[in-house]
């Protein structure tokens, strides 16, 4: 069983990101390995919905969450749809598959006072690495960009005159994000550092490692987790949490949902609507603490 043609289609026709391609490749390899080990099927043409259901049971027994199983099923649907269009198979075994239900999970975010504390009180240190780490966090929180988008930034993507930042998102779609005033003030000082440190190159990465190489996902994750750990105890302290925090704070302060969608680079409004739920939850907490009929007031009365 081979998925090379499908993966090439995703890379060159659909222009999916390397991160997404890695996830698809891993899911397909996992599925193929299960089929070979359990059923010894000679080709994908022999795969039926019963085999897929058996794999779902196998994943559940390994304590794989329903959300992750759904993502893997989405990968399989795309793969078998592609193979059917090529004429490799006669039917799509995913047509009879019902995806497991998942509870709605609100995005994790960091409260405003903790973010203020991060940039006000935390010592980022002197020199290039300290300036880079602060700028990295400022960019993630101040623009809501994805980790892959941050890594892909080039010096030429920053326009300090118009205070815009050009970002290459999913599917190689470009979007412009306004640089917040405080971030535009930080940038000129930072941009002078790589000019003298590594040489001026318009297409050079905006953010580098201490050795002048491009950032990589694990390093960005470690930097974010290190500094968020000094101000918050939320379980997730990843770059994506700062993206959620950016969107949640905008929503809390009355930003238009369509504007948030454009800033985040979402393809549909449905993906952005989850941040309104965070705002509703915050209002519910305020109500429960302050209203005479709220839970907080009831406890105090007792």
Among 77, 114, 163, 266, which one carries the catalytic annotation? 266
Catalytic residue check, 120: no
| Phi, psi of 175, deg, nearest 5 | -145, 155
- Quick one: pLDDT band at residue 300, thresholds 50, 70, 90? very low
Catalytic residue check, 51: no
Q: What gap in Å lies between CA 86 and CA 32, rounded to an integer?
A: 19
Is the residue at 146 inside a domain? Answer: yes
Region of 175 please: left (phi>0), alpha (psi -120 to 50) or beta: beta
CATH number, residue 183: 1.10.443.10
What's the pLDDT at 302? Answer: 45
The token duo for 276 is: 């309104």
Work out the mean pLDDT of the chain and round it to a whole number.
85
* Cα–Cα distance list, 103 to 18, 58, 63 (Å): 29, 21, 16
Is the residue at 290 inside a domain? Answer: no
What's the pLDDT at 84? Answer: 93
Choose one of 212, 236, 260: the last residue of a domain. 236
What pTM was computed for the model?
0.68
Are 78 and 126 contained in the same domain?
no
Are 160 and 58 contained in the same domain?
no
Choose one of 182, 207, 236: the last residue of a domain. 236
Catalytic residue check, 71: no
Are 152 and 58 contained in the same domain?
no
Among 146, 147, 244, 261, which one carries the catalytic annotation? 146
- Segment 124-134 shows an average pLDDT of 88
What's the pLDDT at 118? Answer: 95
Is the residue at 48 inside a domain? Answer: yes
Choose one of 194, 220, 236: the last residue of a domain. 236
Are 129 and 170 contained in the same domain?
yes
pLDDT tens, residue by residue, 276-296: 776 666 666 666 777 776 665
Among 170, 175, 225, 277, which one carries the catalytic annotation? 170
What's the pLDDT at 296? Answer: 57
Among 240, 277, 282, 287, which one carries the catalytic annotation? 240
What's the pLDDT at 238? Answer: 94
Residue 153 in this model has a pLDDT that exceeds 50: yes
Which residue segment(s) compose the domain that 37 sits in? 4-86
Catalytic residue check, 128: no
Catalytic residue check, 146: yes
What's the pLDDT at 220? Answer: 96
Are 135 and 69 contained in the same domain?
no
Is the residue at 242 inside a domain? Answer: no
Catalytic residue check, 293: no
Among 132, 243, 244, 261, which one carries the catalytic annotation? 243
Among 128, 141, 190, 275, which one carries the catalytic annotation? 275
Is the residue at 216 inside a domain? Answer: yes
**How many distinct structural domains can be found in the chain?**
2
Sign of the alpha-carbon torsion through 154, 176, 271, 142: positive
pLDDT tens, residue by residue, 72-93: 999 999 999 999 999 999 889 9
Are 129 and 179 contained in the same domain?
yes
């Amino acid at each position: 069983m081979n998925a090379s043609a499908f993966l090439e289609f995703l890379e060159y026709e659909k222009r999916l990101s390397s991160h997404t391609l890695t996830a698809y490749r891993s899911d397909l390899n996992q599925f193929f390995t299960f089929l070979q080990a359990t059923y010894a099927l000679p080709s994908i043409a022999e795969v039926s919905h019963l085999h897929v259901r058996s794999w779902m049971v196998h994943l559940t027994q390994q304590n794989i969450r329903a959300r992750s199983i759904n993502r893997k099923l989405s990968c399989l649907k795309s793969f078998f749809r592609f193979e059917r269009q090529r004429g490799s198979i006669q039917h799509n075994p995913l047509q009879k598959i019902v995806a497991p239900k998942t509870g709605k999970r609100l995005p994790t975010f960091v409260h405003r006072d903790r973010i203020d504390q991060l940039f006000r009180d935390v010592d980022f240190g002197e020199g290039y690495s300290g300036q880079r780490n602060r700028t990295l966090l400022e960019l993630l929180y101040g623009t809501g960009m994805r980790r892959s988008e941050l890594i892909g930034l080039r010096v030429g993507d920053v326009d300090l005159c118009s205070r815009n930042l050009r970002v290459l998102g999913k599917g190689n779609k470009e979007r412009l994000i306004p640089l917040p005033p405080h971030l535009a003030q930080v940038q000129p000082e930072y941009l002078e550092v790589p000019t003298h440190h590594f040489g001026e190159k318009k297409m050079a990465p905006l953010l580098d490692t201490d050795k002048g190489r491009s950032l990589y996902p694990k390093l960005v994750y470690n930097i974010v987790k290190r500094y968020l750990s000094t101000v918050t105890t939320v379980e997730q302290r990843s770059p994506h949490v700062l993206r959620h925090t950016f969107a949640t704070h905008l929503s809390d302060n009355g930003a238009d949902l369509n504007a948030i969608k454009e800033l985040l680079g979402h393809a549909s409004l449905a993906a952005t609507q989850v941040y309104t739920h965070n705002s509703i939850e915050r209002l519910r907490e305020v109500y429960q603490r302050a209203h005479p009929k709220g839970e907080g007031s009831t406890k105090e009365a007792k």
